[in-house]
């Protein structure tokens, strides 16, 4: 009984915070609601006897990804100021997105209902973290190594993408004017009108 109550509470918090993360107009708040969702997910991991994952979730996501996103929001702050606070509920997008999401929910419920999942019983003992490490460096060694290459590529790629193209221009004039002078932006501003 207690377990049910606890699960219900966690699930409610999870879904509610996710809805807020998607629905709130203020971007900073949206990111913070996402943080709550991620933290609640780690509760699920604990209930699923995966304490290592729960810890990792808190450290990596709530610590790393969240602060990264907050940086992103801050760096692009002027956007939200210019266009008012994030206008996300475009009626057009909403009208076409809702049916598809409703159908998706229906499909998932149907699929879960049709599949016999209740016979599966949880494992009695939780696996040790040591075993996970052995798995990673044993069976999944190749995937692990490939992943490290991917991370390196992502790092290099992010630097290359976000780097300023012409260092000599830096600090000479207002970056806003420079952005406006780029051919791409002029083209798109014409499209907007």
Partner 1 sequence: MTLVTWALLALFVPLGVAAFIGLVVPLRRTGRPAALISVAGALVSLASAGMVLAGGSAALKPGVHATVGWLTAGTATAVGVHLDGTSAWMLLVVTLVATCVQIYSLGYLHDEPPPALGRYFTYQSLFLFAMNTLVLAPNLLQAFLGWELVGLVSYLLIGFYFRKPSAAKAAVKAFWVTKFADLGFLIGLVTLYAQTGGFEWTAVTPAATFVTLMLFFAVMGKSAQFPLHIWLPDAMEGPTPVSALLHAATMVAAGVFLIVRAEPLFEQAALTRDVMAYVGAFTALFAACVAVVQSDIKKVLAYSTCSQLGYMVAALGAGDTFAGYFHLSTHAFFKALLFLGAGSLIHAVHSNELKDMGGLFRKMPFSGTVFVVGALALAGVPPLAGFFSKDLILEAMHHHGLHVPLAALAIAAFLTAFYMTRTVMLALFGTPSHAAEHAHEPGIDMKLPLAVLALLAVGAGFLGGPLAGLTGHDYAFHFTPVGGAGTAIGLVGIGMGYFMFGPAQGGAAIKRGFAPVGAFIRYGLMDRLATVAYGIMLAVGAIIAWIDRYVIDGLMNWSGWILLVLGRRLRALQTGNVQDYVYAVALAVVVFGAWGILR
Partner 2 sequence: MGLESYVLIAGFLFCVGLYGILTRRNAIGVLVSVELLVNAANINLAAFAHFGRGLDGQVFVLFTTALTVAEVVVGLALVILLFRRRKDILLDLANGLKG
Binding residues for partner 2 restricted to 22-81, rule: CB under 8 A: 22, 27, 30-31, 34, 37-38, 41, 44-45, 47-50, 52-53, 56-57, 60-61, 64-65, 68-69, 71-73, 75-76, 78-80
Min CB(173)–partner 2 separation in Å? 14
132 in Cβ contact with 52 (< 8 Å): yes
One residue of 136, 141, 170, 173 binding partner 2 per CB under 8 A: 136
Residue with tokens 């149907």: 110
CA 42/CA 56 separation, integer angstroms = 8
Whose Cβ is closer to partner 1: residue 97's or residue 150's? 97
The answer to whether 107 contacts partner 1 (rule: CB under 8 A) is: yes
CA 148/CA 156 separation, integer angstroms = 12
Contacts 24+ apart (CB under 8 A), 26-29: 26/85, 26/86, 27/73, 27/80, 27/85, 27/86, 28/70, 28/73
Tell me 115's DSSP state: S
- Total residues contacting partner 2 by CB under 8 A comes to 98
Min CB(124)–partner 1 separation in Å? 33
Q: In the complex, which residues of this chain contact partner 1 (CB under 8 A)?
A: 93, 96-97, 100, 103-104, 107, 110-111, 114
């Amino acid at each position: 009984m207690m377990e049910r109550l606890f699960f219900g509470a966690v699930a409610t918090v999870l879904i509610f915070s996710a809805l807020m993360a998607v629905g709130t107009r203020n971007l900073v708040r949206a990111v913070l609601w996402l943080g709550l969702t991620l933290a609640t997910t780690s509760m699920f991991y604990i209930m699923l006897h995966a304490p290592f994952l729960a810890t990792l979730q808190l450290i990596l996501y709530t610590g790393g990804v969240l602060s990264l996103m907050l940086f992103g929001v801050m760096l692009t702050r002027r956007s939200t100021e210019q266009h008012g606070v994030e206008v996300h509920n475009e009626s057009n997008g909403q009208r076409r997105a809702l049916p598809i999401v409703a159908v998706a929910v229906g499909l998932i419920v149907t699929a879960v209902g049709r599949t016999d999942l209740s016979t599966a019983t949880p494992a009695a003992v939780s696996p040790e973290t040591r075993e996970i490490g052995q798995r990673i460096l044993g069976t999944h060694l190749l995937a692990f190594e490939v992943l490290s290459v991917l991370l390196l590529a992502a790092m290099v790629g992010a630097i290359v993408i976000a780097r300023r193209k012409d260092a000599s221009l830096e600090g000479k004039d207002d970056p806003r004017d420079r952005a406006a002078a780029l051919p791409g932006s002029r083209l798109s501003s014409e499209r907007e009108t």
